[in-house]
Amino acid sequence: MSKLDRRQFLTCAAAISGAALIPGTLRANDDGRLDLLIRGGKVLDPGQKLQGRYDIGIRWGRIVRVEPTIPLETAKHVIDAGGNLVVPGLVDLHTHVYPLGSALGLPADELTPYTATTTYVSAGDAGANNFGAFRHHVMGATRSRMFAFIHISRIGLAGFPVGEELNIDYLDVDAAAKCLAENSDVALGIKVRISRNVVGDNGLEPLRRALVAAEAAGTGARVMCHIGDAPGNLSTLLDMLRPGDILTHSYSGAGNNVVQNGKLLPAALAAKQRGVIIDVGHGGGSFDYTIAEPAIDQGLMPDTISSDIHALSGNSPGMPYLPWVMSKFLNLGLSIEQVVALATSAPAGVINRVDKLGTLQTGAPADVSVLELIEEPVEFVDTRNNRRSGTRWLKPLHTVRAGVAFGRPYPMPFNYP
């Protein structure tokens, strides 16, 4: 056996890598079939204004074909959508998905059967002190796509139920800005909670610090501001939000609401008109029909529908799972196209990190949700025990993330090839 010296080895290696560049001399062991075909569904993709009977072909984690009929034999695996709605993978802008790290976090992947959500945005579960662990141990170990708002408080929600902004010394602008700048690929901005029981005597100072940190990061970061029994004049708070910032729990009825004495605050409408994003963030205590209905009537439509799902809210009667929250808005008079847009293309646009996220265009990430629109009498309850009856609701059926379905059949290696 001849022994290769270093020079011979390098020559040989160069020959091999050179050969790979000559078409036809080295092939991937791949027959070109689709990895997954989602057939027979009613596609509803508001991001490209596409609606109708289409099959979706997926290969190597991307959507590659959207056609009226794609032959079965061109695919390795098939999901029969059976006439149900096929929509872009749902995007939830307000979730709590830091299990064991924040006091109310849930594991995103385990929520999938109830949420049909493929993209979760952590709304301040972690602050500067514990964001590194969230990024490496949670984001890195989760199939669902994840982004985050970094809490202005160093401890994020680790101290829950003790308010993380009661001690103003936790609200370190430089630490938050540095953490944001270092993680700008996944960190969208700064989260702050403005409720009396969270801020104590600190008033709006946490929001001021959040705004300074977002600016200081230099990444075009947004501030996501939670309201619900905020101290002081709510209009003062609303006036502080910049275009692109996010108001979450917009329809909260916890006190100091956007609707006061039956009238929408002019500052709330002005905020929407200058580009502040009106987010739902239903949660366990933050969605009140008696606020949402007059607010929407008077012009404060939501820009994004989010759930605020967490370990406490998930067990509350309002059941803030994203398709259920979408169903509430469907029965408030929004169209199916609107509610799907507000939970796909709209929040994906706010995230603005992944090309074509929130759509089913060819080339888009193969994140897809299949939902059944069930037409039957249904009753909903908000977080303040107000009930509304409706006529239809959305039920999750299948969730596909990067071309691989959650649940059975199991992904590689168990279903090889």
Which residues sit at the interface with Zn ion, rule CB under 5 A?
123, 308
Least gap, CB of 404 to Zn ion (angstroms): 28
Q: How far apart are CA 146 and CA 28, in angstroms?
A: 31
| Closer of 195 and 399 to Zn ion (Cβ) | 195
| Closer of 56 and 123 to Zn ion (Cβ) | 123
Before 413, cis peptide (omega within 30)? yes
| Closer of 308 and 382 to Zn ion (Cβ) | 308
Least gap, CB of 130 to Zn ion (angstroms): 16
| Closer of 123 and 295 to Zn ion (Cβ) | 123
| Closer of 104 and 186 to Zn ion (Cβ) | 104
Measured in degrees and rounded to the nearest 5, phi and psi for residue 199 equal -95, -20
Q: How far apart are CA 300 and CA 290, in angstroms?
A: 13
Measured in degrees and rounded to the nearest 5, phi and psi for residue 86 equal -115, 115
| Closer of 270 and 311 to Zn ion (Cβ) | 311
* HSE-CB for 25 with a 13 A CA cutoff: 9
- Pick the closest to residue 310 from 354, 249, 256, 258 (CA basis): 249
Least gap, CB of 309 to Zn ion (angstroms): 9
Q: Are 252 and 228 in contact (CB under 8 A)?
A: yes
Edge to edge, the sheet with strand 277-278 lists 90-95, 117-127, 145-151, 187-194, 222-227, 246-248, 277-278
| The pair of three-digit structure tokens given for residue 373, joined into one six-digit string | 């629109």
| Closer of 291 and 400 to Zn ion (Cβ) | 291
Least gap, CB of 336 to Zn ion (angstroms): 26
Q: How far apart are CA 100 and CA 415, in angstroms?
A: 31
Least gap, CB of 328 to Zn ion (angstroms): 17
* Beta pairing partners, 374: 393
Least gap, CB of 265 to Zn ion (angstroms): 22
Q: How far apart are CA 172 and CA 213, in angstroms?
A: 9
Least gap, CB of 104 to Zn ion (angstroms): 8
Least gap, CB of 124 to Zn ion (angstroms): 7
Using Cβ positions, the residue closest to Zn ion within the complex turns out to be 308
Q: How far apart are CA 207 and CA 194, in angstroms?
A: 7
Beta-carbon count within 10 A of 273 CB:
10
| Closer of 45 and 164 to Zn ion (Cβ) | 164
How many whole angstroms from its chain centre is CA 46? 17
